[in-house]
Amino acid sequence: GAGVSQSPRYKVAKRGQDVALRCDPISGHVSLFWYQQALGQGPEFLTYFQNEAQLDKSGLPSDRFFAERPEGSVSTLKIQRTQQEDSAVYLCASSGKRGTNTGELFFGEGSRLTVL
Amino acid sequence: GENVEQHPSTLSVQEGDSAVIKCTYSDSASNYFPWYKQELGKRPQLIIDIRSNVGEKKDQRIAVTLNKTAKHFSLHITETQPEDSAVYFCAATDILTGGGNKLTFGTGTQLKVEL
């Protein structure tokens, strides 16, 4: 598709379950970001990939959070042993076709995670 | 790291009036300042951005001003319309360091345009 695609759009997990959230960025985009958006707040940075390399994971809140982008395209954000405080919308964004960088981030619709 | 503060958190205006949203940032290295609009349940979308080498940029009813000395920037929407109702986020980053476009966002302004 033409835009950033995320799945699932909605996920309900019981506390302690593991979840995996998928992001399919715009074709050719070099950079991929994961953000966490709590209700009524701005997106907060989690991690950043340039191609397959994870260059910055300083925003991951704990070692229960893990992200990968093995082939430099699709990315997965995994949360192990989910806690209620993990409930949020997880936004994926991509940018930067090779040779161009306007600065704009293109966001997906997000995956809304609810931990019961 | 960068810290971005945004106010007001909510703003209600009459249709046709102007709306102004203000942000301050802390990192003097920041040089790129976008504004994103997020409608309820939708993805954030870029509406306008400004780089540190200019003080003002305008696109139809939307304008952004930047004061680098004071480290603040503002979004101005004129002749507001009901479809302008949404949450607006400011953001800041250093776009030149090669760290990607890692944006630091403000906390958002809920704009409501009343008929």
Q: In the prediction, which pLDDT does A100 show?
A: 61
Q: CB within 8 A of A13, min separation 6: which ones?
A: A19, A82, A113, A114, A115, A116
List residues of chain B with CB under 8 Å from any CB of chain A.
6, 32, 34, 36, 42-46, 49, 51, 89, 91, 93, 95, 99-108
**Positions of E strands within chain B:** 4-7, 10-14, 19-25, 32-38, 45-51, 56-59, 62-67, 72-77, 86-92, 104-105, 109-114
Please give the share of chain A, as a percent, with pLDDT higher than 70: 94
Q: Contact at 8 Å (CB) between B10 and B69?
A: no
3-state secondary structure at position B14:
strand
Instruction: Kindly provide the b/e burial profile for residues A71-104, where b requires at least 16 CB atoms within 10 angstroms of the residue's own CB.
Output: eebebebebeebeeebbbbbbbbbbbeeeebebb
Q: In the prediction, which pLDDT does B11 show?
A: 97
Kindly list the residues from chain B whose CB atom is less than 8 angstroms away from the CB atom of residue A9: none
Segment A84-103 mean pLDDT: 84
Residue B43 is which amino acid?
R
On the question of a cis peptide bond just before residue A8, with omega within 30 degrees of 0, the verdict is: yes
Cα–Cα distance for residue pair B24/B6, rounded to 1 Å: 7
Segment A13-29 mean pLDDT: 96
**Given a cut of 80, is residue A33 above it in pLDDT?**
yes
Mean pLDDT for all residues in chain A: 93
Closest residue in chain B to residue A49, using alpha carbons only:
B100
Segment A95-106 mean pLDDT: 74
A residues 24-83 lying closer than 8 A (beta carbon) to B = 31, 33, 40-45, 48, 50, 55-56
Which of A21-25, A63-67, A110-114, B41-45 has the least mean pLDDT?
A: B41-45
Q: In the prediction, which pLDDT does A1 show?
A: 54
Kindly list the residues from chain A whose CB atom is less than 8 angstroms away from the CB atom of residue B101: 31, 33, 95-96, 101, 103-105
Confidence band (pLDDT; 50, 70, 90) for A40? confident
Calculate how close chain A gets to B78, using CA atoms only, in Å: 23
